[in-house]
Structure 1
Amino acid sequence: MDFVKEFLETSKENGKITDTTHEMYQRDLKDFKEFIRGKEWIDVDNDDILKYIEELKKKYSDRSIYRKVSSLKSFYRYLLQKRIIDFMPMKEIELPKLQKAPLKILELQELNRVLEQCGDSFEGKRDSLVIRLLCETGLKINDILEIEKDMLETYEYKNITTTKGKRVYSEPISEKLGSDLKNYIEMLKNPEEKRVFGQLSRQGFRARFISYGKKAGIKQEISPNMIKRISIEIKDKHGNDDISFIEKIREAYMKIGIGDD
C-alpha cells in the first residue's frame, strides 16, 4: 500500500492542506524515504528520526529542519489514527520553539511602485492583474493562479470563487479590476487555455515580483505574501462589509494612481 499517496490524497480531499502544503509534504517525505534507504515506513523508530535530524543539521537551517520534521509528524499521526502503526516514532523528540521572524510590511505606495514596473507588455499586464487580485481578495497566490475564465464569466467579473475541500469561498472585486480582467482575457494568446493566467507558476510569479521590487528601488526583499497583509489590514478596519472594503480599495487605488486612467 502506498501510505504517502493515501495520506496526501485524504488530507487534500478533506481540505486540510493546500496545493503548496501538498508539494511540501511530498518533497519532505521523499527526502526522508531516501535517507532511510529501503526501510519500510512502519518500521521507522525514534533513532531513525534522531539520525535524520543530525543529517539535516549539516545542510539546513533550524527553521527548515523544524518544517521537515513537522511534515513527518503529520504523516505518522495519520498512520497512527488509521491504526497502521502502534506508536509515533518521534513521540519523545521535542524541537526548540522557533523565534518568529520580524513582520515585513509592504506599504501601498511601495505596491504602486511595483505595479509601475510591470509595464505594458502582455506579461506585465498579467502580473499587474495578479498583484491587484491578491490585494483585493486576500486569497493566496495558488488560488489566484487557478482562476478559470468560465468562473469569471459566470459571476460577471464581480467575484472570485474558490473551493477548499467541501467549502466554497467567494470574494468580491472592484468594477475596475473586473473590467481589466475582461479586457485581458479578450487578448489572450491561447484562447483554448482554461486558466486566466495560463501556466504561470507560484515560483515564477514570486521571482518576477521580487525582480519588480528591486527595479522599483525597494530596499527590502519583497514577496507576494506581503500583498495579502495590505488586504487584511484594510479588511480589519471594515469588518465583513464587502461594499465598504471594495470602496476602501478603490479609494486606495485612486490615491496611489491605480485605475485613474
Structure 2
Amino acid sequence: MRELLIEFLKFIKDKKGFSESSIEAYRKDLEDFTVFLMGKDYVEVEDLDVMSFIETMKKEYSENSIYRKLVSLRAFYKYLYKKGIVEKLPTEGLKPVKPTVQMPETLEWEEVERIINQCGNQPKGERDKLVIEMLLQSGLLISEVLEIKISDIISTEYKKIKYVKNNRLHFIEIGNELSEKIKSFVNEDREKVVNSEDDFLFQGVTRQNFGARFKKYGQKAGISQNIYPNMLRNTLAKKYLDSSIDDVKDKMHLEKLEGTGVYITRNLDKIRELYMEIAIGDK
C-alpha cells in the first residue's frame, strides 16, 4: 500500500514541480491518514473513512491544518482515480473547509536595521548580515538563499542570483551595492568561516542554526516578538503590496497568485490572493 504513496510523492515532485516543503507537507498528511486507516487499503477507503479521519484530526489540528490535509487527500485520490487504481473519489462528497486567513508576520524597517547591527563585525557576523540583506532584497526563502552556489553567481559576474523553482531556472537581478558585498565575501571573508571548498555560498549555514542566531539577534535588539528569517520575505512583500499587487508578483518572483496573502489590513482581497504562496513557508 505504501508504494502508492511513494509513487504519488514522486509524481508531484517530478511532474508537478512541487517544492520540497510542499512534498513534505503532503507526505505528513497522507501518513497521518495511513496510520488512521490501521491497515485498511487505500482502494477500500470510502467517504465515511475520510469523514471520520477529518473529525479525528479536529481534536489535534487547527482549521487551516485540516484544510491542508483535505487538499492532500483530494490530490492523492485524484491521482489514484486517473491511474485507474480506484473507481470513485472518496473525497468527492465532502463539504469544503475554508482556511482561516492569517496575517503573515512582518518586521518594521527600523527593526531590521537593529537586527543587522547586532550581528557584529566578526567574520560570521558579516556573513549573517549578508544572508539577511540577500533575504531582504531578493524575496527568496531562507532555504532558497542557502542553496545559492558561488559558481552560479560568478557565471553572471555577480549581477544575478540563479535558482531553480518548480523545475524552472530563474534569475534575480542584484543591485550594485549587494553585488559588491557578495563579491567581497567570496574573495576575502568566506575562507574565514568555511573550512571546505564546497560550492555553496553559505556552506555550513542551515535553516536551523541561522534561525537560532536570527532570533538571538532580535532579542539583543530588543524585539519582543518571536522572529524568524522568512519574516524578511513578508516584510518585502508588504512593501511591494503598498505599491501594487503586480509589483508583488514581479518582485517576489511569483508565477501565480492563487490562494495567497501578504500582511496588509486595507485590502482583504489581496490578502486572500497572496497568503498561501508568500505566507506559508518554513520558519
Distance 1:224 1:107 in 2: 14
**Unaligned regions of 5+ residues in structure 1, if any?**
245-261
SS state of the match for residue 222, structure 1? coil
1:145-197 Cα deviation digits (max 9, x unpaired): 11112111111221111122342211011233223223333424233322222
Distance 2:73 2:146 in 1: 28
TM-score, normalized by length of structure 2? 0.74
Distance 1:91 1:108 in 2: 46
2:31 aligned with 1:26: no
2:210 aligned with 1:209: no
Distance 1:83 1:204 in 2: 45
1:138 positional shift:
0.9
Distance 1:190 1:79 in 2: 48
1:20 positional shift:
1.0
Q: Is the 8 A contact 2:104 2:234 kept in 1?
A: no
Aligned to 1:47: 48
Q: Which amino acid aligns with 2:217?
A: Y
2:102 aligned with 1:97: no
Change (3 A) 1:28 1:120: farther
Aligned to 1:219: 224
RMSD: 2.6
1:75 positional shift:
1.8
2:200 aligned with 1:195: yes
1:3 positional shift:
2.0
Aligned to 1:126: 127
Change (3 A) 1:93 1:159: same
1:212 positional shift:
2.5
Distance 1:75 1:126 in 2: 42
Distance 2:194 2:223 in 1: 32
TM-score, normalized by length of structure 1? 0.80
Aligned to 1:161: 162
Change (3 A) 1:68 1:125: farther
Q: Is the 8 A contact 1:14 1:165 kept in 2?
A: no
**Matched-pair identity in %:** 36
**Unaligned regions of 5+ residues in structure 2, if any?**
252-283
SS state of the match for residue 4, structure 1? helix
Counterparts of residues 125-144 of structure 1 (less than 5 Å): 125-144=126-145
Q: Which amino acid aligns with 2:237?
A: I
Distance 1:22 1:199 in 2: 24
Which of 231, 234, 238 pairs up with 1:229?
234
1:235 positional shift:
4.8
Change (3 A) 1:105 1:191: same
Number of matched pairs: 241
SS state of the match for residue 118, structure 2? helix
